[in-house]
Amino acid sequence: MAEKKSSGASKAGASKKAGGSKGGAANSAFMAPLTPDAALAAVVGKEPLPRTEVTKRVWDYIREHKLQDPNDKRTIKADAKLKAVFDGKDSVSMFELTKLVNSHLKKG
């Protein structure tokens, strides 16, 4: 019986710690405003935005202009504005997208 109480107590303590870390520093880092460079500003606007909002606006732009490959939804085709963000590539995978967008953001 003593084992059950101690294991139950450690699980409760672990869940409290995990929950506390989610809402702390990690959340504020995602919400820190970042300034897009000129190439990315043409897509998302020039005002400083949290990284989450930048990602949302890039995806809104991609959907609005129908830039996802209809046969392979993981592939994003570049138009004139996105080609500058994609470092001159005609298309990128959605997995490359975050890396490329992040390179066009700076703190402050």
Q: How many CB atoms lie within 10 A of CB 82?
A: 26
The pLDDT, as a whole number, for residue 17 is 46
Q: Where are the domains of the chain?
A: 1-31, 34-107
Residue 104 has pLDDT above 90, yes or no: yes
Q: What is the pLDDT of residue 26?
A: 54
Structure token digits, residue 104: 């066009």
State pLDDT tens for residues 49-98. Answer: 999 999 999 999 999 999 999 999 999 999 999 999 999 999 999 999 99
Please answer whether residues 83 and 89 qualify as being in contact, where contact means their C-beta atoms are separated by less than 8 angstroms: yes
pLDDT in tens, 5-60: 554 444 444 444 444 445 455 567 778 999 999 999 999 999 999 999 999 999 99
* AA letter at 67: L
The class of domain 34-107 in CATH terms is mainly alpha
Strand 49-50, strand 105-107: pairing = unpaired
pLDDT given at position 31: 86
What is the reported pLDDT for 96? 93
